[in-house]
Amino acid sequence: MRIRGTQRLGRRALLGAAGLAAVLGVSPLTARLALAAEDQKMRIGIIGSGRVGSALGTVWARAGNQVMFSSRHLENDRKLAADIGANARAGTPLEAAEFGEVLLFAVPYSAFPGLIASLENSLRGKVVINASNPFPQRDGQIASDARTKGAGLFDAQMMPGARLVRAFNAVGAARMASAHEAPGKIGMPIAADDKQAVEVASRLVREAGFEPVVVGGLDMGKYLMPGTPLAGEHTPDEVRSIAATLRP
């Protein structure tokens, strides 16, 4: 059964979001994100539950967020959710996209054209954190195009209407599951143009154990991948120093 984006919100939360939206003159989704930030709980759709997606989703679920895992292998996602227990569930990528107020993409870059088409209009207005990196040797022409244009700007071209953030691209997958054990020591570079999306992503970055460092807009997203000066593990101050030497 498909789980719609608002199905898990209680009536009180829905009414609260609607009221806040009316008072502030913002969209209901923006109001729900503000309420979620206030009570420190969000609904997160994980699209791609490999090493990065499963590690981050597990940390976020155990921090009290509601997480839905999705991939091409639903049975694996169901097992993962069962192992985590409370706050975790599994669904199709479309169900995860509709469920989440915030979405994390962690898929091979070559999967995006077909995947985005299958998600219909479920990305519009959502905060989308793209942890995927374009590797021409693996992903072919789309990865070459993304590297030529810059991954952040290419992400925006692929997902019009989404509130995009590039994050979790420059640190190895093995660290995603363990950084919360010694929080704040590793800086996590973030590139985005949307201020509220940065605030939402920054909260999730901290929950994962990293210190968010905004390095600029989506035009700086080309540096958030392996093989660039920002790749690897650096302290927050080191990330700031490196980013100051780079140009959009």
Over residues 138-147, the pLDDT tens digits come to 999 999 999 9
Q: Give residue 30's pLDDT.
A: 57
Range of the domain at 147: 42-243
Q: Give residue 11's pLDDT.
A: 43
Q: Give residue 125's pLDDT.
A: 95
Tokens describing residue 233: 């593990």
Q: Give residue 1's pLDDT.
A: 35
Cα 208 from chain centre: 12
Domain count, the chain: 2
Do 81 and 94 fall into the same domain? yes
**3-state secondary structure (DSSP) of residue 113:** helix
Mean pLDDT of each 10-residue bin along the chain, 248 residues long:
38 46 51 55 96 96 97 97 96 98 97 96 96 97 97 97 96 89 94 97 97 97 95 96 96
Structural domain contains residue 205: yes
CB contact at 8 A, 26 and 33: no
Selection from 141, 135, 76 nearest residue 113 by Cα: 141
Q: Give residue 33's pLDDT.
A: 57
Do 69 and 17 fall into the same domain? no
Q: Give residue 25's pLDDT.
A: 54
Structural domain contains residue 183: yes
For the chain, where are the E strands, in sequence order? 43-47, 66-70, 88-90, 102-105, 127-130, 163-166, 187-192, 211-216
CATH (domain of 204) = 3.40.50.720
**3-state secondary structure (DSSP) of residue 214:** strand
Structure-derived torsion over alpha carbons of residues 221, 113, 133, 203, reported in degrees to the nearest 10: 60
Do 134 and 205 fall into the same domain? yes
Q: Give residue 202's pLDDT.
A: 97
Query: pTM for the complete prediction?
Result: 0.85
Selection from 222, 137, 178 nearest residue 52 by Cα: 178
